[in-house]
Amino acid sequence: MGRIVLVRFDHNVVKKGEIRDPFRIDRTIGTLFHIVERGGRPIMMTHVGRPRKRKSGAITCRPEESVEPIVHYLEQKLHTRIHIPRFAADGDKGITGIDTSINLAIRELRDRKLGGIYLPNSRWFYGEESKGEAAERLCPTACRLADIYVNDAFGSWQPHASTYNITRYLPSYAGF
């Protein structure tokens, strides 16, 4: 009861800043409902688009690849308030970590003043699509946010930090 659950979805349905087809989002409502029904408090994440340049590896945090349309859709569908934390991007590296500014939102989530937290596009984080040290540095930071990890991103087959590496740090389960 009251556990924070980090949930990785495959809500990659935003194209040029708008949702074209909400099917993938709608199919995850059952997992989300199950978590909340059992007293869990969700911190959600997904990837959107391809903000990383293949040749240089530079990550660009563009508004049209934001999770904001997904959050807006979920807020309307679930009649709840979902917070998107803002983290500073570091040049070509994107977001280099999750800072303590999220702690107030987590407190509000625990107190049920928020229905959920939706992290920025996971591909904006330095280390998400990397191997080795960069991926390993991201996971412990993300894991400090939660008690449990649930993967409901079955369309995301790549072994990224938020779908693969993270399972070594938190008790992990599959979504519906």
Residue 47 near residue 123, CB atoms below 8 Å = yes
Q: Quick check: helix, strand or coil at residue 7?
A: strand
Distance CA 130, CA 128 (A): 6
pTM beyond 0.85, yes or no: yes
Torsion, CA 123, CA 21, CA 5, CA 99, rounded to 10: 30
Dihedral class, residue 141 (left if φ above 0, else alpha if ψ from -120 to 50, else beta): alpha
- Residue 1 CA to residue 113 CA, distance in Å, equals 16
Give pLDDT tens digits along the chain (176 positions): 689 999 999 898 998 889 989 999 999 999 999 999 999 999 999 988 887 887 877 778 888 899 999 999 999 999 999 999 999 888 788 888 888 889 999 999 999 999 999 999 888 888 777 666 665 666 667 778 899 999 998 766 666 767 767 788 888 898 98
